[in-house]
Structure 1
């Protein structure tokens, strides 16, 4: 049966990455995906964009302003998300107020993340060290929770694996070859490729769970499953309804 992972708490229908979204998504998903970034003091908060406002490449999903990595957690968590009445939560608060299994995307450990994807051997130690302080804080908070850690950044995956030999990992990728390489290097049980990557591949790995992002329509859901996906990282609930008998357990 196809696993459903609620992308940012089903961001198509809920205020993304909020406690309310995670609670609402829990009843219709097997797991909920959230993004985690660092404030200026290193506090992990649940947020996607670099900025609270619509400057640079950020979308302006809150009524706040400024770069999250430069702001205090008090400033970040005062920001309202999409006029919903929901505020940006700290990871600590989200964990305390929800209990659904999580997919935690490690996005930014502060200012500067380095390049995405697989790194040359000479660059891997520095990348891991850059991520370790943030990863330590995230792992300490999540201790004991059902959680899997994903990232586009090799340094983040390497830092998690160094700190916890048994942690569940899932490299995020836009090319399956990159995902396979990172999954092998860090003993990851899953790979999270884009839908385009799965469609372009001759086959998907049979030895690891493959969860495809970001699925927004039932046509995309069907294409992902037909290409061999085990799970869908989806913006909307109910997308497996028309795929076929036996897919989607919570629609």
Structure 2
């Protein structure tokens, strides 16, 4: 089972930063980041709609330029909010990059960046509409609950599903595998949860901590 570093292991790194991604890539099979569009039009990596929670700045991501975002301090570090291109460059070719689309209008731009990227890029999203923008890359539908997840993912042409940890059991994994879909569950914060996912037959654990990676 693969270890997927959620936001670059935010349990030990400033989340969604270049340093977090680079460090996580040395310990995980894949790294997951969140993608938005900033005020100057570039793709940037930030989970929330605003920068208030994670940085010393305030206001919507969409109200800041890429340069302004880079000048902020994420979680008291010397790292700013990076562009998606900067993050892609920090991931080696033997590590997969999961790009979670946090808003529509980002899919085509992610594909353009990914076309010249060293790592394989998988695009995920809670929003089916965002995934329909992606035509060239493998996709994964993210969902809190397991009900209807497999059928929705098949309709969208996805290659994987990403249920919440509480919704991921052996029955869901069996249905997904029967439909030709991989299963990566989130968010693991305890090694015991990793073991439960392994027993259920999941393909990946999306985790905040490197110590939760499958052994």
Question: TM-score, length-normalised on structure 2?
Answer: 0.90
Q: 1:203 to 1:108 in 2, by over 3 A?
A: closer
**Unaligned ranges ≥5, structure 2:** none
Give the structure 1 partner of residue 189 of structure 2: 216
Q: Which has the greater radius of gyration?
A: 1
Query: How many equivalent residue pairs?
Result: 207
Give the structure 2 partner of residue 190 of structure 1: 160
CA distance in 1 between counterparts of 2:30 and 2:116 reads 16
Give the structure 2 partner of residue 22 of structure 1: 21
Q: CA RMSD in A?
A: 1.6
Give the structure 2 partner of residue 233 of structure 1: 206
- Conserved? CA contact 1:175–1:193, under 8 Å: yes
Tell me if 1:82 matches 2:78. Answer: no
CA distance in 2 between counterparts of 1:64 and 1:46 reads 15
**Aligned positions of 1:25-64 closer than 5 A:** 25-53=24-52, 60-64=53-57
CA distance in 2 between counterparts of 1:222 and 1:20 reads 28
Q: 1:106 to 1:203 in 2, by over 3 A?
A: closer
Q: Secondary structure at the match of 2:142?
A: strand
CA distance in 1 between counterparts of 2:36 and 2:197 reads 28
How many angstroms does 1:9 deviate by?
0.6
Tell me if 1:139 matches 2:134. Answer: no
- Conserved? CA contact 2:91–2:97, under 8 Å: no
Tell me if 1:68 matches 2:57. Answer: no
How many angstroms does 1:239 deviate by?
1.7
Give the structure 2 partner of residue 107 of structure 1: 102
Give the structure 2 partner of residue 151 of structure 1: 125
**Unaligned ranges ≥5, structure 1:** 54-59, 110-130, 241-247
